Amino acid sequence: MKLLIGNDDGILAQGVQSLANALAEVGHEVTVVCPDRERSATGHSLTMHQPIRAERVEDRFHSGIAAWACSGTPSDCIKLALSALVDSPPDFVLAGINHGANVGTDILYSGTVSAALEGYIEGIPSVAFSLASFTSRDFEPSVAFALRLMKQLGDHRPTEPMLLNVNIPPVTGDRIAGVTLARQGVRRYTDVFQKRVDPRGKTYYWLAGEVLEELDDEPDKAEIPIDGIAVSQNYITMTPLQSKLICPPKLEEMRGWDWLREI
């Protein structure tokens, strides 16, 4: 298959190198276009007011891979690749393997998910892969699952665009509890802006904080686990996403608001 891979950790990240090299080694045609530096938590931002540059990367990847370092955001990378760097659309757009989980409301900020979302917007089946740890360097179980999943997706090609968010627990393969479909949960953080002073005596703020809890905003669907909770129980989670943010229940409720006619 023809695969386009991006990320938000940057072209030098271990996750994207491990994923791309493994896919190339089993015979896929792989193109990599990643930011030239870390661009985590940039969401779906695009570069509008300055040029975007892309340079070939000649080492670090399998010899059969065409790799590019791009000055833009994760979404820029995929948009530029599809418009200017690849000669025909790929069969799939992949993102990752990200260093850190992308679950719950974190998905809204994720550059990794946004890179895959860009492929989905362009009508291409897309998958975002994340290793649910910022400290683990063992990408082998994540790569092994990615190879298995892409084999299945290749054998059963989606008939329409899809966006799949995959999170792999940071444990050895023998400790993975299984693979499950999961719902996007809601993450609450103890957000804290630490006030600091730089060497020149000027004040700045640094965003810090930890996950407080994983919330279930759809308890009526309890038979399908929540992504963040399932990953913490050592399950690989797969969550189908979409680009539409509209809330159908609220739309129907607002249709009954009589006062709207007075506006």
Hunting for tokens 């072209």 — which residue is that?
Answer: 11
Report the distance separating Cα 70 and Cα 87, nearest Å. Answer: 18
The domain in which residue 231 lies consists of 2-183+223-253
Q: Are residues 192 and 137 in the same domain?
A: no
Whole-prediction pTM value? 0.91
Of 110, 52, 76, which Cα lies nearest the Cα of 239? 110
Q: What does residue 82 show for φ and ψ, rounded to 5 degrees? A: -70, -30
Q: Are residues 122 and 205 in the same domain?
A: no
Please report the DSSP string for 229-257 in residue order.
Answer: HHHHTTEEEEEEE-S----HHHHHHHTT-
Please report the DSSP string for 93-127 in residue order.
Answer: EEEEEEES---GGGGGT-HHHHHHHHHHHTT--EE
Q: Are 160 and 124 in contact (CB under 8 A)?
A: no
CB neighbour list of residue 260: distance below 8 Å, 6 or more residues apart? 254
The domain total for the chain is: 2
In a domain, 259, yes or no: no
In a domain, 260, yes or no: no
Per-residue pLDDT tens, the chain, 263 aa: give them: 999 999 999 999 999 999 999 999 999 999 999 999 999 989 999 999 999 999 999 888 999 999 999 999 999 999 999 999 999 999 999 999 999 999 999 999 999 999 999 999 999 999 999 999 999 999 999 999 999 999 999 999 998 899 999 999 999 999 999 999 999 988 777 767 888 999 999 999 887 777 766 777 777 777 899 999 999 999 999 999 999 999 888 999 998 898 877 77
Q: Are residues 196 and 170 in the same domain?
A: no
32: domain CATH number is 3.40.1210.10
Residue 212 CB neighbours (<10 A): 11
Provide the residue count of the chain: 263
Q: Are residues 102 and 190 in the same domain?
A: no
Q: Are residues 178 and 162 in the same domain?
A: yes
In a domain, 145, yes or no: yes
Q: Are residues 120 and 176 in the same domain?
A: yes
Of 78, 86, 79, 74, which Cα lies nearest the Cα of 30? 86
